[in-house]
Amino acid sequence: MSDTSIVYNQRSKSSLKDIWSYSIGEGATSIAMNGVNNFALLFYTQVLGLNAALAGLALSISVLWDAISDPVMGYVTDNTTSRYGRRHIYMFFGGILLAVSFLALWTVPDSFSGNSTILFGYLLVVNLIMRTSLTVFVVPYTALGFEICKGYESRAKLQSVRSFLNMCVNFVFGALAWSIFFKDSVDASGARIDGTKMPGNFLVMGITLSVFALIMILLCVYLTRAFASTSNDNQSKNAMSIKEFMVSTKSILSDRLAIRIFALLFVGQIGVMLTAQLQVFAYVDFLNLSSGDKTLVHGSTMVGFAIGALAVTKLVNWLEKQSVILFAVAASTLAGIGMYLVFSADIFNLDLANNQTAFTVPSFAFFQGLFWFGWGIVMPLSTSMIADVSAISEAKTGQVKDGGYSAMFSFALKASTSFALLFCGGLLAMNGYVEGVPEQTAEVAKQVATTSFLVGPFFMILATVFLYKYPVNRAVMAKLNDESI
């Protein structure tokens, strides 16, 4: 290694304290995004009786708006001049609004129940507000992470810790939510009442999660305040204008390296989001899991993702990033095929969906965890790869566009999520899912579950096409670093 590379590596290393202080903010993002992804469709269709296609439409429109607003926010934060830096001021105010609007999602007035038009409008408006505030917080927050860590490996490490914390929070408020907020009860006759069909439980969850999200946001802003001044370094001196915004956006969209990563994320996220939405219906309708079993199975997805995220740092030390992603996709694909063979095709004739044994829940949890282990690697690694691309762009042009690149990355993530939410509602309708009934038919439940097993691996395999002959590796970044010193 050259002397300049040694100097660069010493300069580019960030302390674990800085990385963890930054990553706390991801907890709020986890609460907002995973809270909606895990429970919103279930709440509005199963509890409030909104048509699944309409619920999916409302969620997808709001996510699409969120995606469209990301590039604007990226340009604004890159070109902001403030004594509080160009990231923190937006993180603070956007974060507060995020916590408040997330709470509103679960506080639906009783008078709205039973009216599909009003419910659709309420869900749409509240989500538009929440998604706008999410953009205002997340885009500068992600860009701040690009500025805190500068090295090839350190970028992967920061995103690894960030994703790990995301899943830790999701485990507590997602997996454990089945037992904390949605614990089953019994009626006067002794029959079990599913906790996810009681509106009051969703209200308690909404209040609790909103408070924790606000605390995490304020902690992140305060603990990373030292980076507020450095985030103003080398910023553009051009006045903000529509013309400059268009020029900046065009330059990012013409970056072929960035387009590869955006496409990788977009296609892969479609499959993952469809899996995330449909797997909840598999818990409730296909396997008829108890609240404790739901906690175990859903928790396995968070544990798998967290282990995958933690493994990123070690894997990147051994392999190039694109090779690590191929390994992760292979793991997720094996998991999806395994679930299909055991639970849908039932090649072992166990009929686990109808005749549950001690083998049912642990085996389902294992496959679920393995699938999310793969995505736990892909998500943080693709984020670090776009940070690499942003650094290459800065070296070539002399312009800092971390906010712009993080915004486009977020755009790809949210646009694919919007598409998946819309597609999910359609898939449920195509499979004959009926809203508001006590239970689905066995055939419908099996079809929905089968789709959840196979759709994720299909899209993740398709996404790897964009990594073919991807040229950015450790040697390329080391050379770039040498030239920048």
Structurally, the chain folds into a number of domains equal to 1
Residues 209-233: pLDDT tens digits?
Answer: 999 999 999 999 999 998 886 545 5
- The domain containing residue 431 runs over which residues? 26-225+242-484
In a domain, 14, yes or no: no
Confidence of residue 461 (pLDDT cuts 50, 70, 90): very high
In a domain, 85, yes or no: yes
**SS3 for 461?**
helix
| Identity of residue 30 | S
In a domain, 409, yes or no: yes
With contact defined as beta carbons under 8 Å apart, do 87 and 141 qualify? yes
With contact defined as beta carbons under 8 Å apart, do 46 and 197 qualify? yes
In a domain, 17, yes or no: no
**SS3 for 346?**
coil
Q: Which tokens is 104 given?
A: 């509103």
CATH of residue 326: 1.20.1250.20
Residues 398-439: pLDDT tens digits?
Answer: 887 888 998 888 888 878 877 887 788 778 888 787 766 677
- Beta-carbon contacts of 420 under 8 Å, excluding residues fewer than 6 positions away, are 60, 269, 270, 271, 273, 274, 277
Q: Which tokens is 258 given?
A: 């960035």
In a domain, 289, yes or no: yes
Sign of dihedral through CA atoms 158, 417, 71, 30?
A: negative
**SS3 for 168?**
helix
pLDDT of residue 376: 93
- Is residue 137 scored above 80 in pLDDT? yes
Confidence of residue 356 (pLDDT cuts 50, 70, 90): low
In a domain, 20, yes or no: no
In a domain, 304, yes or no: yes
329-352 mean pLDDT: 82
In a domain, 11, yes or no: no
**SS3 for 114?**
coil
- Is residue 95 scored above 90 in pLDDT? yes
Question: Which residues lie across from 185 on neighbouring strands?
Answer: 193
